[in-house]
Amino acid sequence: MQQRPTIVLATRNPSKLREILAVLGDAPFELVAPDEGVAEPVETGLTFAVNACQKALCYARATGRWCLADDSGLEVDALDGRPGVTSARFASDRCPPDAERETIDRANNTRLLEELKDTPDPMRTARFVCHLALADPRRVLAQTFGTIEGRIGWGEQGNNGFGYDPLFLLPSMGLTTAQLPAQEKNAISHRGKAVRHIAGILRNLLTATPG
């Protein structure tokens, strides 16, 4: 039996890795996390697309493999699109550099609620955005993105998901994305949409690539 091609997923966030693997299911390639020795690139882009491409190329060149990189975050309309590309480090000034991911998430959510404390429901609209880039060591091969619209709630609800999920309310469902089972969330989420799209592109690229 022919061995499945290996693609490096350029993230050290275990929650992102878990979600992407769950969406891909029985894809004809194997996704692996980068080795610990590969340094993470500094994200200098002003958009999710630029950061995703930077990460994909950096890891591809460091590993010599095809790499898939995700850059994603939360855009809040009342905050002029913030936290945006700084979503993961929105409250970095409140956390030590070596803080655990859960500690960082709580700090980010607390800051978001503080900044929106006087913002009424109709103005708390927001969206999750995910941009994916696939690269080999020479160039970016493909890009996709996905979004999901919602609203920021007044307090955390739900224990599933990660990041801003406990605050991201889906008005049509009356639930946050942290209250949805993983399979249901992945079916409608920004990351789920982007991953399903890139999976089709990957299959076509692998079919067209000799060996």
State pLDDT tens for residues 91-115.
Answer: 999 998 889 989 999 999 999 999 9
In a domain, 74, yes or no: yes
State pLDDT tens for residues 120-146.
Answer: 999 999 999 999 999 999 999 999 999
pLDDT at position 51: 95
In a domain, 164, yes or no: yes
In a domain, 71, yes or no: yes
In a domain, 122, yes or no: yes
Q: Give the domain CATH number at 40.
A: 3.90.950.10
In a domain, 192, yes or no: yes
CB neighbour list of residue 139: distance below 8 Å, 6 or more residues apart: 57
Active-site residue among 26, 35, 71, 121?
71
Closest CA to 165 of 140, 138, 192, 142: 192
pLDDT at position 54: 94
Number of domains in the chain: 1
CB-based burial of residue 178 (10 Å sphere; 0-12 exposed, 13-18 middle, 19+ buried)? Answer: buried
Q: Which domain holds residue 173?
A: 6-208
Beta pairing, strands 67-76 & 6-9: parallel
Average pLDDT over residues 186-194: 93
Distance separating alpha carbons of residues 194 and 72, to the nearest angstrom: 10
pLDDT at 42 over 90: no
80 is an active site residue: no
In a domain, 1, yes or no: no
pTM of the full predicted structure?
0.89
In a domain, 45, yes or no: yes
